[in-house]
Amino acid sequence: MRISSAFSPGRWLIYGVLTLAALFFLLPFYVMLVTAFKTMPEVYSTGILALPDSLNFSAWIHAWSAATIGAASEGIHGYFLNSFILVIPAVIISTAIGAFNGYVLTHWRFRGSNIFFYMLLLGTIIPFQIVLLPMAWVQGRIGIAGTLVPGLMMVHVIYGLAFTTLFFRNYYVGIPHDLIKAARVDGAGFFSIFFRIMLPVSTPIIMVTAIWQFTMIWNNFLFGVVFTQGGQQPVTVAINDLVDTVTSVHMWNVDMAAAIFAALPTLLVYLIAGKYFVRGLTAGAVKG
């Protein structure tokens, strides 16, 4: 096998293309960032790529605590908090149930478990829009319509189950069934095996699933706008309201600052846990 040198023309081409792609994707974020640090007169007088004269934080402060959203002028901070109140339990619950489903589907097969799994798989390709009406009907019937928690949270948990189950199922398939058999002979039961044998080796896939679910739920707009109103809304919906609430002038710098606030948690999650994400996606079987 030929080992190509680090400076071969092919390498240069690959790095060149990758650099261009990175710049292309980073450009919008760059525009958002510089705009958020400008004053409104500056926004109008300079090009969108131009750097601000000075680091001006007034747009950030305004977006956080004073911008008008809907009827109130308290900024996005309350909605930002809403998103956390929504995302944290939704991620934990959907990941936990997914882990449990994956465990059952791989190591406690039952009659029809394959059909059950394929039906769940179907859930991963169902568009958001299809769930709206039936979900609204169910929520109305059980009396949790319009609430952030448990209403919207339940929507995300149910919608996410197909994905979390798929992740854990594919991970647990790689764990030798002999481990479960050994534990049964050793006197461990269904739950004891799950908590003491399976979960301790699941860190990579828990990270993958949690990051995936965090991103999906945090960034989701449609469910938020359909199932919550007013002060119950998550930050994605609030930003939309912020942009839509037109006063005398459109404050681009405030919009951009608010949008960056909203993007920050997912950005941080990827920066901190991104390596687990890659590791978990490529993790093979746990050698017994």
Binding residues (CB under 8 A) for another protein: these are 176, 178-179, 181-188, 192, 196-197, 200-201, 286-288
Of 2 and 111, the one with the shorter C-beta distance to another protein is: 111
Total Cβ atoms within 10 A of residue 129: 9
Of 145 and 188, the one with the shorter C-beta distance to another protein is: 188
> Shortest approach of another protein to residue 94 CB, angstroms?
24
Of 201 and 243, the one with the shorter C-beta distance to another protein is: 201
Of 80 and 194, the one with the shorter C-beta distance to another protein is: 194
> Shortest approach of another protein to residue 159 CB, angstroms?
31
> Shortest approach of another protein to residue 108 CB, angstroms?
12
> Shortest approach of another protein to residue 279 CB, angstroms?
16
Please tell me whether residue 72 adopts helix, strand or coil conformation. strand
- What lies within 8 Å, CB to CB, of 99 at 6+ separation is 164, 168, 198, 199, 202, 205, 206, 209
> Shortest approach of another protein to residue 169 CB, angstroms?
19
What is the Cα–Cα distance from 194 to 204, expressed in whole angstroms?
16
Check: CB of residue 288 under 8 Å from CB of residue 179: yes
At residue 118, what is the residue type? Y
Of 127 and 200, the one with the shorter C-beta distance to another protein is: 200
